[in-house]
Structure 1
Amino acid sequence: MSALEVREVYELAELALVNALFEEIWGTAPGASPMGTEQMRALSHAGNYVAGAFADGRLVGASVAFFAAPVGRTLHSHVTGALPGHAAGLPLKRHQRDWSLARGLSRITWTYDPLVRRNAHFNLAKLGARPVEYLTGFYGQIDDAINGGDDTDRTLVAWALDGPGPMASPPPVRVPAGAVTALSVQDGLPVVGRLDAPALLVEVPPDIEALRRTDPGAAKAWRLAMREVLGGLLAEGARVTGFHGRTSYVVTREPAA
């Protein structure tokens, strides 16, 4: 694996490469990238974050973020994508973290699809970010290679920058004694269990992106179940404390006063 160089990008030619990379990753038509060249040019010129990861001079990953509320404390990371085989995700997040700390910021936020296991593990276990809100249909319906026309429910996570930073090999997540399974996978479908326990496990399907292609009905069932269970728990004030075994959210309720 080639050594990566992660750096900010400013010039139109390189921003056009980022746009083309996003089109490739998201499988969109030309001109339908989740972040276009002109938008990135404006954001970068205004002092926001646009960075690329390069392997032997070839762009293999990129991230775009902008300042957000609370003003002076937060960066919102809007789009991050990387080609497989280069392990660019963690170096990009390290670079974004260092960039934010150098500007006096204390947290980074972003959204992700709570049904994607690898993203949940990366965001919660490797980075230490924590979900703070469940957003139903946040972007409307997007018919690209990743979203497949599914409802775009998203989890908003916050990454506190005063922690230890990203870890390539995070320690196992502690599951509280007596935790019950609130959502599980059975024959590929979601099964809702108890939701009233102090500690709960919310399982994620093994490969929701493949399921959207092979069984859209099952994918829709998972979207609705995750919305009901994880979305409902977060709305009630429960906290996600980690992602266990690359399969399940660990959710806890604060004891009653």
Structure 2
Amino acid sequence: MSAGAGEAAGLPAGVTLRPLAGGDDLAACLEVQQAVWGNDPRELVLPIVLEATLRAGGLLGGACDEAGRLLGFVYGMPAARDGRLAHWSHLLAVRPEARRLGLGLALKHWQRARLREQGVERAYWSYDPLLAGNAHLNLNLLGARVVEYVQEMYGGEVQGTAGSDRLIVEWVLVAPAGTAPAPPREVVGLETAALPEAGPIGVAVPGDFSALSAGDPVLAGRWRAATRRAFTHYLARGFCVAGFRRGDPPLYVLESGT
């Protein structure tokens, strides 16, 4: 399949993908961010920073409707990892009313095609491990793999009680989509006391963490503590994240690397 066909596959009628540049496009990116994350300046990338990044070799692409309105965008910058040229994908944002249209996946495919044209082989980004939809996109649909768990990546006050723990993933740009892992032997959840040691092990997450955070921030904080405990425990002992299973509850499957 050609890069163009891969980018267009599954897009709603009238939606196009294109590079973004210039004042109007960058202002629209800020508007999309505000629609997704609100007006907290600590969570927004301003147009002046987007412009500087583009001039330094960054990549910014958007999905626009027939009227030219920006529905979502993907944004990143040149990076180095383990001594190799790479790409850090900092933002993937889609307006709430345009979600479930496949725009996030299409934008990532667009990003991959542009990076491969530049000779880049790997991209990295972070995401909140408690967001089940993001886990499905990153691990199952794109085939990225978890390489690191970072506690409070953006500081404890950025996202309230639940904090800002993140998983770092590596996306090999020629890799196929992920496959669903086998069911775990045991599942670690909110009330788990002793962590099991024999894998594969499931680490459960809420079905809708965003709604949970808005409605019960204390419970959201408990979920953060429980998953932080599990991920840091198992990753430090050589386990790897084999994949993500959707269901009730959704869960990560961790397998021993030995």
TM bucket normalised to smaller: 0.7 to 0.9
Decide which of 77, 80, 90 is 1:69's aligned counterpart. Answer: 80
1:93 aligns with 2:108: yes
Decide which of 46, 55, 61 is 1:36's aligned counterpart. Answer: 46
Task: Output the amino acid matched with 1:127.
Answer: L
Cα offset for 1:141? 3.1
Would the aligned equivalents of 2:161 and 2:218 in 1 still touch at CA under 8 Å?
no
Counterpart Cα distance in 1 of 2:42 and 2:246? 36
**Which deviations, in whole Å up to 9, do the C-alpha atoms of 1:121-176 show, x marking residues without a partner?**
11111111111100000001355xxx345310000001111212x5xxx75x1316
Root-mean-square deviation over aligned CA pairs: 2.0
Which residue pairs with 2:256 in the alignment?
Answer: 253
* Range that drifts further, 246-255 or 95-104: 246-255
Would the aligned equivalents of 1:182 and 1:193 in 2 still touch at CA under 8 Å?
no
- Cα distance change, pair 47–36 in 1 and its aligned pair in 2 (3 A): same
Counterpart Cα distance in 2 of 1:148 and 1:5? 36
Counterpart Cα distance in 2 of 1:52 and 1:135? 28
Secondary structure at the counterpart of residue 39 of structure 2: coil
Q: Which runs of 5+ in 2 are unaligned?
A: 1-11
Counterpart Cα distance in 2 of 1:32 and 1:23? 12
Cα offset for 1:192? 4.8
Which residue pairs with 2:220 in the alignment?
Answer: 219
Q: Which runs of 5+ in 1 are unaligned?
A: none
Which residue pairs with 1:175 in the alignment?
Answer: 182
Would the aligned equivalents of 2:212 and 2:219 in 1 still touch at CA under 8 Å?
yes
* Range that drifts further, 201-210 or 118-127: 201-210
1:79 aligns with 2:86: no
Counterpart Cα distance in 2 of 1:245 and 1:212? 20
1:113 aligns with 2:128: yes
Q: Report 1:226-245 matches (<5 A).
A: 226-245=227-246
Would the aligned equivalents of 2:161 and 2:217 in 1 still touch at CA under 8 Å?
no
Would the aligned equivalents of 1:4 and 1:88 in 2 still touch at CA under 8 Å?
no
Counterpart Cα distance in 2 of 1:25 and 1:75? 23
* Range that drifts further, 68-77 or 243-252: 68-77
- Cα distance change, pair 193–123 in 1 and its aligned pair in 2 (3 A): farther
Runs (4 or more) in structure 1 with deviation over 4 Å come to none
Counterpart Cα distance in 2 of 1:81 and 1:157? 17
TM-score with structure 1 setting the length: 0.86
Counterpart Cα distance in 2 of 1:240 and 1:89? 22
- Cα distance change, pair 142–37 in 1 and its aligned pair in 2 (3 A): farther
Secondary structure at the counterpart of residue 66 of structure 1: strand
Would the aligned equivalents of 2:162 and 2:221 in 1 still touch at CA under 8 Å?
yes
Secondary structure at the counterpart of residue 104 of structure 1: coil
**Which deviations, in whole Å up to 9, do the C-alpha atoms of 1:175-234 show, x marking residues without a partner?**
16xx322413xxxx4435543113111111112222222222211111011100012212
1:162 aligns with 2:194: no
Task: Output the amino acid matched with 2:59.
Answer: Y
Secondary structure at the counterpart of residue 63 of structure 1: strand
- Cα distance change, pair 194–8 in 1 and its aligned pair in 2 (3 A): same
Cα offset for 1:243? 0.5
Counterpart Cα distance in 2 of 1:196 and 1:13? 53
Which residue pairs with 1:59 in the alignment?
Answer: 70
1:206 aligns with 2:207: yes
Task: Output the amino acid matched with 1:160.
Answer: V
